[in-house]
Each structure stands twice: as structure tokens, then as C-alpha cells.
Structure 1
Amino acid sequence: MSVGVLCIHGFSGGPYEVEPFTAYLREHTDWLIEEPTLSGHGDELHMEGFTAKHWLMDAELAYRALAKKVDEIMVIGFSMGGIIALYLAKRYKVKKLVLLSAAAKYISPKQLVKDFTMLATEAYHRNLMNNELFLRYRHKFNHVPLAATIEFMKLVRMVQPYYKDICIPVFIVQGKMDGIVPYRTAQFLYDTLTTADKNLYFSDNGKHHICHSEGCEKWFPQVFHFLQTP
């Protein structure tokens, strides 16, 4: 039986956000892994004019294309991609779900303050251009329109009623140091999803970009085992 994995990236991001984990899967399997780039997203952001409906349709089209090539599909979603993954699971035949830093709720002000205090310290010591967090977000600060952010919030609200209808196996991974999605969001999702087969893993040092954070060597194998298990 052929297996496909559809990986959905986050808001204002791109496939690079999940690349470490998809590389791990490619190394250990022969699964067909697809990583579509949502409209307006990617390495160069051009988000003006795109809406939640565009992003959901992008994901649906990617699912349908993959479904023509494989017998079963598992979906991995990062941040906003996690919400889109839940949307797909409600509407299509999905065998399993992996939710990484899923943005069911967003912005943890306390952690953001910590992160940007760190950036200010780096700037003071003239080392800002060597700071990974700054480099990752610098481009976004100037290229994400307010309208797109509103569409992101609209998408989250749109999908929330679906949580109670998810009955397939789910694995949730969340970093406790996440400055975008409050880490308690993962517990909220775990409690709200009605599936009996659900797993929750907290990474003590994980930040929002969980696939690029410390501790991946611990949860990568656990999620892989979950995906492999019949």
C-alpha cells in the first residue's frame, strides 16, 4: 500500500518550516511527501490580496493531487498549517494527523517579551545579524499585511467548530518556549479533539519553529513511530 504525507506550513512561512522533519521521514521511508507552498507564501512573501479561502483551497488541491498517486494520506500541519490539517481531516479521508505548534490560539505575550528582550540585548552587543530569531522574523515584519493577519485569524475561527468532529489518530507536538502559540494551546486541542487515539508531547526547550528547535531528536522518532503504526 502506497503512503503519502501532506505537509502544510504556517502563516507567512514556507515548506522550510517543517523541512528538518520531512528530511527525517525521507531518510527513513519511501513515502511520497508533498510540501505545497500556500498562495503568497514562501521564501519571498507576496501576501497582499490572498485570503483564508485561498489557503484552504491550496491545501485541498494539494490533497486531491496527492490522493491520485497514493492509497492513503497522512497530514502534518505546522502552526496555521495545523489548523488547515484539521480542516482537511474534517472534509477528506485522512489516516492520521500530526499537529506541530498548531495555532488554535496565538500570541503568548510573555514569551514574545522574552524573545524580543533577547533581540535587544543582541543589538546592544552588535550581534543582531548573527541572531537566528531576528533573521527568521526580520523579513516578515515588513512583508505581512494587516489584512493577511486578519485572514489568518478568520481561518482559525472558521475551523474551530470542526475540532469536535475529528475522530482519526492525532499526535500533537508543542514547545513550552513558543512565543507565538501559547503552549497551553496544545492541551486545549488535546482536550477538545474527540478522537480516542490522541497523543501529546511537550518539548521543554521548543520554540514556535519546533522543527528547528532543541529536542527534535526526542520527538522525531516518537512521531515517526506513531505514523508507522497501523
Structure 2
Amino acid sequence: MILEKQLKGTRAKRPVIIFLHGFGRKRTGELEAFQKAFEHDYDILMPELFDPEDPRDSNGILWANRALHVVEKELLKQRQVILGGFSMGGVIASWIASMLPVEKLILVAPAFDLINLKNTGNILASLITHFTHLDSPQEIANFNGLPANFFQTLIDVVVQFRPYASRLTCPVLLIHGSQDGIVSPQSSKIAFSRMPATQKQMFIIENGHHVMFEDEGVCQEALALIQLYLNDQIVIRKATPAADTVVD
């Protein structure tokens, strides 16, 4: 009985990782590799931010607040919360981490600046065209069939919440793929340079594409970097001009 209580206490004290999915029909389905890699040592929560079958669920503030409420709930339990986000989820995670006392922040291909966002008079048409002419069959299937108004919601979320990256003071790990065809790695470099956090590190993974956890060529490398970060084995140093150099 005593041992059982001790085990229950140990489980209750496990840190929780809240990881936010990106834009697309698969939602948390894109994060299965991440969940499998860390569910043994952490409680993993991955809230669904929107319903891809409901065109009326197109309020970006509501999408973001669904994530916010999950983080607030765990903090109220006095849990150690590690927050992460992929693509659009990374933008929302940055907003939350700028306000709430999360232990660490993990950003994977955060969508701070969608490719072609500024280079067209018809942003919505450009995004739909770009997303439905991708090279990867997985990415094409993920975007096809989404309500058309969701693409505008994506733009609204990115524009509204990306400024909060410049307010981050918690430890940050940022990972981006060099061959990302949806979100430019340069946008992560710019956002990273503006983060006031004194503990931060960024890695550009060579030949990595956007959906990194489904990219067999780089998935394990991305997971290994995250594991090192969670274990405090990646050198976290105070920000200096030299320390902010991006590691390729």
C-alpha cells in the first residue's frame, strides 16, 4: 500500500508537455512521433485547436484560447509545464509563453512568416494555391478539403500572435528545416534574434522539410535535440552576440 501511494505520487509529479499542432486536417496526427518519443517520461497533452469539419469554427482567437485554457488548467494544478508548438501551434505557443510561467518552450518550424504572405495582392488565393501544389502527397492531403475560410483564419492567427515572440523570456529551443517550403527558415532566424530570453538555442536541420515529425530523414534528429534540451544537456548560455549565432 505504501509503495502504491509512492508510485501514485511519483506519477502525479511528472512534468507535463503541452504540444500544439499546426494547420491542417491531421491536427495532432502530425505529432505521433513526438508523443511516442516522450510519453514514457512525461504526461503529454495535445489539444485539438479547431474542427476541420466545421466551417463555422473559424475564429482564430478561439483556436488560441483553447490552447491557453489547457495551459492555465495545468498551471493551476501546480504542474511543471513545458510548452511546445509546431508551425501555427508554435506561434500560439509563443503568445502563451510570453504571458504564463512555463518552464521551457519548444518551437518546431514556427509559422512566424508564411511563404508568399507578403508577396501577393491576394494572400488567401496564394496560400490555397501554394498549399494544394506541394510536392509531398502527405502535405497535399493534409490541406485539401479544409474550409476555405480557415486559410484566412490561419493568416489572422499568424499576424496577431507572432509579435509575442519578441517578448519571450523563458528558455527556448527552436528547430527549423533548411528545406521548409511552407515557412521560411529565415523567419525563424529573425524571430529568434529578437527574443529577449537569456537562455535560447536554435538549430537549422539540413534537408529538413516543414512537417518535421513525419520527415523520415530528420525526425529522429529533431527528437534527439528536443531530448537533449529537456535533459538540460544542450548548453544553454546567456545571450551574447556570439551566443545568438544560429547553428546549422
Using the size of structure 1 for normalisation, the TM-score is 0.81
Deviation, 1:47, is 3.9
Task: Name 1:121's counterpart in structure 2.
Answer: none
Which of these residues, 58, 69, 86, is aligned with residue 78 of structure 1? Answer: 86
Which of these residues, 183, 186, 199, is aligned with residue 184 of structure 1? Answer: 186
The within-5 A match list for 1:5-16 is 5-12=17-24, 13-16=26-29
Greater CA drift, 31-40 or 45-54: 45-54
Distance 1:66 1:97 in 2: 15
Deviation, 1:167, is 0.5
Task: Name 2:220's counterpart in structure 1.
Answer: 217
Deviations 1:15-70 (CA, angstroms, capped at 9, x unpaired): 1112211210124x1x11101111224xxx43434211110111012112333445
Distance 1:139 1:2 in 2: 33
Task: Name 2:75's counterpart in structure 1.
Answer: 67
Task: Name 1:130's counterpart in structure 2.
Answer: none
Higher CA-based Rg: 2
Mark the CA change 1:117 to 1:156 in structure 2 (over 3 Å): closer, same or farther: closer
Deviation, 1:116, is 4.5
Mark the CA change 1:159 to 1:138 in structure 2 (over 3 Å): closer, same or farther: same
Aligned length in residues:
207
Distance 1:47 1:184 in 2: 32
Percentage of identical aligned residues: 21
Which of these residues, 132, 137, 140, is aligned with residue 134 of structure 1? Answer: 137
Task: Name the amino acid aligned to 1:210.
Answer: M
Which of these residues, 40, 47, 63, is aligned with residue 36 of structure 1? Answer: 47
Mark the CA change 1:117 to 1:4 in structure 2 (over 3 Å): closer, same or farther: closer
The within-5 A match list for 1:168-183 is 168-183=170-185
Structure 1, unmatched stretches of 5+, are: 119-132
Task: Name the amino acid aligned to 1:217.
Answer: Q
Task: Name 2:242's counterpart in structure 1.
Answer: none
Task: Name the amino acid aligned to 2:32.
Answer: E
Distance 1:173 1:55 in 2: 23
Distance 1:58 1:83 in 2: 14
Task: Name 2:120's counterpart in structure 1.
Answer: none
Task: Name the amino acid aligned to 1:16.
Answer: G
Structure 2, unmatched stretches of 5+, are: 1-12, 118-128, 234-248
Taking only aligned residues, the RMSD between alpha carbons, in angstroms, comes to: 2.4
Does the 8 Å CA contact 1:3/1:70 hold for their aligned counterparts? Answer: no
Task: Name 1:127's counterpart in structure 2.
Answer: none
Does the 8 Å CA contact 2:212/2:222 hold for their aligned counterparts? Answer: no
Distance 1:117 1:3 in 2: 37
Deviation, 1:144, is 3.1
Distance 2:224 2:45 in 1: 20
Whichever structure has more helix as a proportion of its residues is 1
Task: Name the amino acid aligned to 2:115.
Answer: I
Deviation, 1:199, is 0.9
Deviations 1:89-119 (CA, angstroms, capped at 9, x unpaired): 022111110101100001269xx98x9485x
Distance 1:25 1:180 in 2: 26
Distance 1:19 1:70 in 2: 27
Task: Name the amino acid aligned to 1:4.
Answer: V
